[in-house]
């Protein structure tokens, strides 16, 4: 059974979600304040975190960023933001702070379960009862197949490993979200090709990124992480008015 943590100050919603998600083999624990949520993360291992944006003390965006930039073991826990807002800026900022996905309130339980399954599939979380990934009906597999892809540029090596869902820069593994991996893996299929935001959305199979501006946020984060890992070459090229491409000399081999 998948173990999830919900951080939301809406007690009635939390109780309802617990009942509903249990039917889908998701064991939901709840915390109603950011402090209580952090204590729960420190004490338990969760497969996924559901995080409301509107929280007391600090908002969900700030908490998401705090989790991602911490040195705690839970920093890489997949995060789905829950928001009653319809402002595109909030959704893009959510992705910029490290969220893997977001769901608008009010939502249908089946939608939330589908989003949870999609994120878990991207990070390879399995259901212990079945020994396989949780089912995600009507959604395609998200990770490209094949062996490792390596791009060489100005003495730097960028490695994309679809089998292990890893990205390495000069041998240093990046700490990235599942959505960031999905995007760079999709770009690596045809390096050098300029892809529009719409084209990238089509390649990110099974993702719920429905706004093209979300692509800009993901690209920005990937660029910074590649640079922070020690690369002195920009593997991601921006072509104004057209889109993005992943550049470098490609080599591909089995993992």
Structure confidence by residue, pLDDT tens digits, 206-222: 444 445 567 787 888 88
pLDDT tens digits, residue range 1-34?
899 999 999 888 888 888 889 988 999 999 999 9
Q: Where in the chain is the domain with CATH 1.10.10.10?
A: 148-253
Q: Where in the chain is the domain with CATH 3.40.50.2300?
A: 2-133
Angle at the Cα of 166 (from 162 to 172), degrees rounded to 5?
140
What does pTM read for this prediction?
0.58
Round to whole Å and give the CA distance between 153 and 161. Answer: 18
Torsion of CA 14, 15, 20, 24, to 10 degrees: 70
pLDDT tens digits, residue range 149-164?
899 999 999 999 887 7
148-253 topology per CATH: Arc Repressor Mutant, subunit A (1.10.10)
One of 3.40.1180.10, 4.10.520.10, 3.40.50.2300, 3.30.1330.30 is the CATH number of 2-133, namely 3.40.50.2300
- Could you tell me which residue, 255 or 183, shows the higher pLDDT? 183
């Amino acid at each position: 059974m998948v173990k999830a943590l919900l951080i939301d100050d809406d007690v009635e919603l939390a109780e309802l979600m617990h009942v509903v998600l249990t039917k889908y083999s998701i064991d939901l624990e709840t915390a109603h304040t950011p402090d209580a949520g952090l204590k729960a993360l420190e004490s338990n291992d969760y497969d996924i975190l559901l995080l409301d944006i509107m929280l007391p003390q600090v908002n969900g965006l700030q908490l998401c960023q705090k989790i991602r930039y911490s040195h705690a073991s839970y920093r890489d826990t997949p995060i789905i933001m829950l928001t009653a807002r319809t402002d595109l800026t909030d959704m893009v900022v959510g992705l910029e702070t490290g969220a893997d996905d977001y769901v608008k309130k009010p939502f249908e339980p089946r939608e939330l379960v589908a989003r949870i399954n999609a994120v878990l599939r991207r990070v390879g979380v399995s259901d212990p009862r079945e020994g396989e990934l949780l089912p995600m009906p009507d959604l395609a597999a998200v990770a490209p197949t094949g062996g490792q892809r390596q791009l060489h540029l100005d003495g730097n090596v960028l490695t994309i490993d679809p089998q292990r869902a890893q990205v390495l820069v000069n041998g240093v593994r990046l700490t990235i979200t599942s959505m960031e991996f999905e995007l760079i893996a999709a770009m690596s299929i045809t390096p050098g090709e300029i892809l529009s935001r719409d084209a990238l959305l089509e390649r990110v199979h099974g993702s719920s990124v429905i706004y093209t501006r979300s692509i800009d946020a993901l690209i920005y984060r990937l660029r910074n992480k590649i640079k922070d890992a020690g690369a002195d070459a920009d593997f991601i090229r921006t072509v104004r008015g057209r889109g993005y491409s992943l550049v470098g000399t490609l080599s591909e081999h089995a993992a």
